[in-house]
Chains A and B, each alone.
Chain A
Amino acid sequence: MASEKFTSFDGCGADAQSSTATPVAALPAYLALGVAFGYVLTRSEVLSWFRIQEMFRFQSFRMYGIIAAAIATAALSLRALRAFKIRALGGEAINPQRRNFGRGFRYAIGGTLFGLGWALTGACPGPLFALIGNGITVMLAAVVSALAGTWLYGLLSAKLPE
């Protein structure tokens, strides 16, 4: 397949796609990290419908503590990686780009629609998959529905305000 036929992926994590393809030797490491993430999602209980309702009703500090601590840890780590000009294992410079803001509609409207779904299902995308692993297999239906939602966005994307 000729690669010029393809447009570039502009979704989440898209800024890292311009670099070289992922080496096959590194793939097991991503699988292992995914296992760790699924484990952490479960033990932290951020994938629990009960916890998500508790958070949105402001009935516990727990979820806010987790989210704030996660952002702080990621932000400080990113600062350190940049300050010490640390490179990725493959030798690339680490400098994740910010999104093209445009008029911001896509973030405001898309974000709000996602928030509705987050509270209804009690799960964002990572937790949807981790819950299947946890034996709540009906979340497969939620995943199929989420794929339909993403597909519909793809169909309509040119017509929606950015």
Chain B
Amino acid sequence: MFAWLNAEWPWYVAGPLIGLFVPVLLLLGNKVFGISGNLSHICAAITPVRIAHFRYDWRRAGRWNLLFLLGVVLGGALAAGTGGANGVRLSAAAIKTQQSMGIHDFAGLAPKEIFDWKQLKTTRGISLIIVGGFLVGFGTAYAAGCTSGHAISGLANLDPASLVAVLGFFTGGLLASWFLLPIILGGAHGI
């Protein structure tokens, strides 16, 4: 009966469910759905207040969102504990491309060959985890939003700033996926 809870959800179920977080948060407390503000809130909370950008009342601005974020970690753990460990069912084309970049283990949500603590000693581990993470943090702070804040909340609000940001997301993503990753991991170039 609960089998659907454990399986991969089809796009037409997953998409609307993600979109519903926008009206639910607005209804609950007039909050705008967006995750990346939390990175600023954590910086404001733990770094000295010399930097003007982080000199705001993070408790007032971000307490609700930091709790939401804590929930996201717990929700991930809950999902991990209820099955779905067989790996994603990629298209044949995607498997071929990723194999050409040296990925052989397709179990789980991310390649274990790269996303492992031991890999932090390797160029590819540092490139994907540390440099990638840094770009996520710098980019979202500069763009004042991420996939949730711009692509979902912003585009739903027909905000021109969010359209520019999302075009940027895909420009950067395409560049990294077609050119940077094949250079870092080896294998098939995009073109």
Contacts and interface: CB of A to CB of B under 8 A. Distances in A.
B180 A120 contact: yes
B80 A26 contact: no
Interface string A131-154: 111111111011111111111111
Contact of A30 (B71, B94, B127, B190): B71
Interface in B60-95: 60-65, 67-80, 84, 87-88, 90-91, 93-94
Contacts of B181: 53, 119-120
A137 B33 CA distance: 25
Interface in B16-30: 16-30
Chain B CB count within 10 A is highest, among A22, A98, A158, for A22
Given A27-B63, A154-B141, A133 B75 contact: yes
A62 B144 CA distance: 27
For this complex, into which size category does the number of interface residues on chain B fall?
Answer: 35 or more
A116 B152 CA distance: 19
A67 B87 CA distance: 21
Interface residues of B, dominant DSSP: helix
B55 A26 contact: no
A102 to B, nearest CB: 8
A13 B168 CA distance: 19
B1 interface: no
B186 interface: no
B111 interface: yes
Interface in A6-28: 6-17, 19, 21-23, 26-27
Given A101-B160, A112-B139, A145-B137, A126 B93 contact: no
Contacts of A92: 30
Contacts of B76: 38-39, 41-42, 47, 129-134
A30 B65 contact: yes
A118 B168 CA distance: 11
Contact of B26 (A6, A69, A96): A96
Contacts of A132: 73, 76
Interface string A86-113: 1011101010101111001011111111
Nearest to B96: A59
Nearest to A154: B53
Contact of A89 (B28, B149, B153): B28
Q: Which 8 A/B pairs are nearest by Cβ-Cβ distance?
A: A34-B71, A38-B75, A111-B168, A115-B172, A69-B15, A133-B76, A114-B139, A149-B137
Given A130-B79, A132-B73, 4 more contacts: A34-B74, A98-B161, A116-B173, A136-B115
